[in-house]
Structure 1
Amino acid sequence: MTTVLLLIVSYLLGSIPAGLWIGKIFFKKNLHEFGSGNTGTTNTFRILGKKAGLVVFFFDLLKGTVAVLLPSLFHNTALPVLVFGLCAVLGHTFSIFDHFHGGKAVATSAGVLLGYNPLFLLLLVVVFVIMLYLFSMISLSSISAAIVALVGVAIFPAFSFILHHYDLIFTLIVLALATIIISRHASNISRIRKHVESVVPWGLNLSKQHKI
């Protein structure tokens, strides 16, 4: 029973649509009606500003981290902790508080990795920052980090680099998280191909997308 309750709590925690609620309460704006219509960190930055964006980013990040830590707090070992993290990501992506809409799972997935393997996350952050500098796109940086995560769980253990052994559960969860992130960026991938994806005012914008 405790395990089921913790899974539900993890999902509900992930479901909290911080960007949507902050926009409505403090800015009288529904993020679904502005920009990309997404309620995650990137659209919050664009529509509500840096302060609100940072609050949403850290909140969404911590949703994943707290979900991973919950089983340990209650001394529950019935399931791998990453399963609870995945529930939080599913909640974030398909929020029961937002008609099963949600964000693109990047920050919350990062939070899951922060709670389970911070060093692996650090590598992905480096990849994210490098890609952001080169191409100035949050979307492409997120997709690239997801791809590197997939490659990492497949290859790194063979060389004992960051991951020292193959972990089936970790591999499956990373596969699930990466699949969610990449699939949620389908429209961004289409815009990137057409060179009309939004970019941030930083970096080289090597693919010459149109700036916002």
Structure 2
Amino acid sequence: MPSSDPKSLVLWCLAAFFCGSIPFGLLLVKLAGKGDVRAHGSGNIGATNVSRVGGKGLGVVTLLLDILKGFLPVFLAKRAGLGTDMLALLALAAVLGHIYTPWLKFQGGKGVATALGVILAAEPTLMVLPMVTFLFVLWLTRHVSLGSILAAAMVPGQFMLLAFSFFRPGWGVVVPWLALAILVIWKHRENIKRLQEGTEAKLWGGKKEDSHVQG
């Protein structure tokens, strides 16, 4: 079985990491002749900052590509027969590639869109609770960052609930998803500080946040 071969797993993880590391936002803005996206707005390479610099259309394309680069390696590994524990490791590797891309001195985005992609590939039904959480928090507070943080927390939470249920996916599945969520939340640490201080901007009714869900 592919999931029982350590060398195969290492290769899959490396492929997922480098797939996730492609800085689509940076590349698209440069190809559009708009310069370096990191020199504008929040300095992020994610879709929201891309939309500020290159327009909404370019932002949407960046969002879709950032989702795709998380989706593709996990989807292919799933089709190849890797187990849920191995898929969890690949999901983490892809998000790590986006957050710590080696092409940009290990400085990348916040990982939310890529995390969305890996979840859609690994287990689409697990997107329901995070998406409901995100939309509810956004409606209630208008803070995209808070919605993203709480949505990220829902992902390992679901696996932890299953770990104590009849189905029991095992901690080998839970731990990588937990690490993924912690990474995404940690990348929002400046947003958390502003939320605590009451200075975080809202999606509407004021200046838009520097750190949108697509970062």
* Shorter-normalised TM range: 0.7 to 0.9
Aligned ranges for residues 18-167 of structure 1 at < 5 Å? 18-74=24-80, 80-156=86-162, 158=164, 164-167=167-170
- Normalised to the residue count of structure 2, the TM-score between the two structures is 0.83
Q: Which amino acid aligns with 1:211?
A: K
Unaligned runs of 5+ residues in structure 2 are: 1-6, 209-215
Alignment CA distance shift 1:128-1:167 (3 Å): same
Q: Relative contact order: is structure 1 or structure 2 higher (C-alpha 8 Å, sep ≥ 6)? A: 2
Q: Which amino acid aligns with 2:131?
A: V
Q: What is the CA-CA distance between 1:139 and the residue it aligns to?
A: 0.9
The match for 2:207 among 190, 194, 211 is 211
Match of 2:201 in 1: 198
Alignment CA distance shift 1:71-1:147 (3 Å): closer
**Aligned partners of 1:14 and 1:88 also within 8 Å:** yes
Q: What is the CA-CA distance between 1:44 and the residue it aligns to?
A: 2.2
Match of 1:188 in 2: 191
- Count of aligned pairs between the two proteins: 202
Q: What is the CA-CA distance between 1:104 and the residue it aligns to?
A: 0.5
Match of 2:176 in 1: 173
- Cα distance in 1 for partners of 2:187, 2:43 equals 13
Q: CA RMSD in A?
A: 2.3
Sequence identity (%): 33
- Normalised to the residue count of structure 1, the TM-score between the two structures is 0.84
Q: What is the CA-CA distance between 1:66 and the residue it aligns to?
A: 1.0
Q: Which amino acid aligns with 1:106?
A: V
- Cα distance in 1 for partners of 2:12, 2:159 equals 27
- Cα distance in 1 for partners of 2:199, 2:33 equals 28
Alignment CA distance shift 1:3-1:34 (3 Å): same
Unaligned runs of 5+ residues in structure 1 are: none
Which digits, 9 at most, give the CA deviation of each residue in 1:113-147, with x for residues without a partner? 11111111122111111111111222111101122
Q: What is the CA-CA distance between 1:199 and the residue it aligns to?
A: 2.1
- Cα distance in 2 for partners of 1:154, 1:92 equals 25
SS of residue matched to 1:35: coil
My pick for the range that moved more, 150-159 or 136-145, is 150-159
- Cα distance in 1 for partners of 2:158, 2:129 equals 10
